[in-house]
Structures are given as C-alpha cells and as structure tokens.
Amino acid sequence: MDFLLAYINQKMAEKGVKDYDVTVELITIAASSTETIPNDNDYRFLANAFMSGSDPMSGSIISDNAALNLTPLVLNTGYYKHINLYHGRVDVTNNSTTDTLYVEFLIVTPLISDNHVK
C-alpha cells in the first residue's frame, strides 16, 4: 500500500494538484455483469480485487483514459495492478458466471483551495 500512496502523491504532483482527499471505495460486481461509475472529478487507483469463490479472476476495468484486464497474473504483480489512474466514467466487468467480483479503489478527490494548482 505504501507504493500506491507514494504513486498517488507523484501523479497528483504531476497534475499540479496540491490538496486532495483519499478515500476507499469497494465495488461489488455480480457474476456476468458490469458496474458503471459515472463521470466525476475523482481519480481512482486500483488497490485490490478478489473473487468471492474459487473462479479465477476474469474481468476488466475500462475508463475514459485507461484499461486493465483483471487476471490472476496482473493482480499478483503490484506494479501492473497499481499503475493505472482511472478518470471519468469507469466500467468494471466481471466475466465469471458464478462468483462475485470485489474491486477496491483508492479515490483521490482534488480539493478546491488557494493552493490547488501551481
């Protein structure tokens, strides 16, 4: 998790965002379905994903600016799991026909203040 928090600091600095809040969001995606997170000003970073049963991980996260196939190999590699910053509309798809997919995001919300932008 330290890697992810350091990465968030780096990405927000690159965007000129000085003040922001970080919260956690857990999305539950039923078997063979897609959940859509509407377009907002938040940035999402994948923290974790796991299945409710024994099905291997199979799904995807697709946003306006990034995409990631959710596979066991990707999720066991921290670098690939955490590298994408999702912004705008985000669709999370569960390809399993039997198990529920749980996806945990760290949500970064830029704060409006005098120090907001360089």
42 closest CA partner among 88, 100, 103, 93: 88
Indicate the pTM of the whole model: 0.87
The answer to whether the Cα torsion of 80, 31, 108, 40 is positive or negative is positive
* DSSP at 112: P
Name the strand (E) or helix (H) holding 25: strand 20-29
Q: What pLDDT, in 10s, does the model give residues 22-80?
A: 999 999 999 999 999 999 989 999 999 999 999 999 999 999 999 999 998 887 887 67
Of the candidate CATH numbers 1.20.1300, 2.60.120, 2.60.40, 1.10.530, the domain formed by 2-110 belongs to 2.60.120
Distance in angstroms (rounded) separating the CA atoms of residues 84 and 13:
16
Q: What pLDDT, in 10s, does the model give residues 6-21?
A: 889 999 999 999 999 9
Domain residue ranges of the chain, discontinuous segments joined by +: 2-110
Q: Give the SS3 label for residue 85.
A: strand
34 closest CA partner among 65, 61, 52: 61
